[in-house]
Amino acid sequence: MQTIRVELAERSYTVTVGSGMLGAANAAITLPAGGAALIVSNETVAPLYLQALKDSFANTQVDTLILPDGEQFKTLEYWSRIIDKLVDIRATRDITLVTLGGGVIGDLGGFAAACYMRGIRFIQVPTSLLAQVDASVGGKTGFNHTQGKNLVGAFHQPVSVLIDIETLKTLPERDFSAGMAEVVKIAAVRDAEFLNWLESNNKAINAREPEVLISLIRRSIVNKAEVVARDERESGVRALLNFGHSFAHALESLTGYTKYLHGEAVAIGMLVATRLSEQRNLCAPGLSDRLGKLLRSFGLPVDMPDDALPDEILELMKLDKKVIAGSYRLILLNAAGQGFIDSNSNNKQIAAAIVASQPR
């Protein structure tokens, strides 16, 4: 078992990573004496892990809510179902909301916790690789609007995060690959040594060797925790963690959140951003080839679809939360492990990078 501390003064919390922990969650998660819990999960994860988690809270009144599985359900309607459940069970401010699932469940549940009675405790128990290395840490919560991803939400930190790598044994290959996009992302923008390690250990990672997975998850979280501690509400350096996301969010919106998993869209977005960096001579040539090779080794797509028109992508990017004073706020690369915030890319340059990222 390993622990990582996310240092945020009075909002600090611990991320615990290990194997076989769901059945003994109460050893790593502290619930208030006499309090209650609501576990929110989805139709895929609940049959596998809900009972073990529920049983570990044997001395706590536990209610459950099961939602459909998928990014298309990350909406106002399904956020409202969580609020309705809290009202139905007459939840008071001493309740703890526990999210058991991937990033969608974590985001919806976290935002419900942020809003119910102006804020209640919540705990993240992420079961997908993407949620374990990224979405469960940092306090970003919310849901999608039809016009854009994550346009509604709040910063609301969990009181703890519990990661059991055993859940990755049942994670479909495509979902595992999607999670690796977020791992590559954080290495690409701030940890060149980690990027080298990923290239050297890609076979062991794909084989899901337990010790390798624990090392991978821990290093990803340490990197993210350091960034979040410096910039909790994304007013500066935390924006680096959005590498590839402006393009990814536009692509997800364009395709109705059904064609690509979030990590797949991020992989494509990272390649567009890296090609833009190369075309503007901000980094040495060849970095996009290197990054593309690594992403493909994890089974990820890297090509922007040829029916995604640059004008459509640009129009959707205007609604992105990272646009400030009419300027795109993109994350580009000076080198491997050296991301930076750029506000100087124009429509013509971005469109050229999109076209260069489409199949030839």
List, by residue number, the catalytic residues: 118, 140, 182, 224, 234, 238, 242, 245, 249, 262
Name the phi and psi angles at 340, rounded to 5: -150, 160
Strand partners, 17: 2, 163
- In the chain, % helix, strand, coil (3-state, to 5) comes to 50, 20, 30
**Displacement of CA 217 from its chain's centroid (Å):** 13
Burial of 325 per CB tally in 10 Å (0-12, 13-18, 19+): exposed
Strand partners, 342: 330
> What single DSSP character describes residue 324?
B
Residues 268 and 302: beta-carbon distance below 8 Å: yes
Residues 232/234/239/242 CA torsion (nearest 10 deg):
90
Residues 154 and 114: beta-carbon distance below 8 Å: yes
CA distances (Å), origin 259, targets 47, 104, 147, 253, 255: 25, 16, 16, 10, 6
**What is the distance between the alpha carbons of residues 110 and 297, in angstroms, rounded to a whole number?**
33
**What is the distance between the alpha carbons of residues 109 and 97, in angstroms, rounded to a whole number?**
7
SS3 (DSSP) at 255: coil
Residues 10 and 232: beta-carbon distance below 8 Å: no
| Listed residue (123, 67, 272, 213) closest to 198, CA to CA | 213
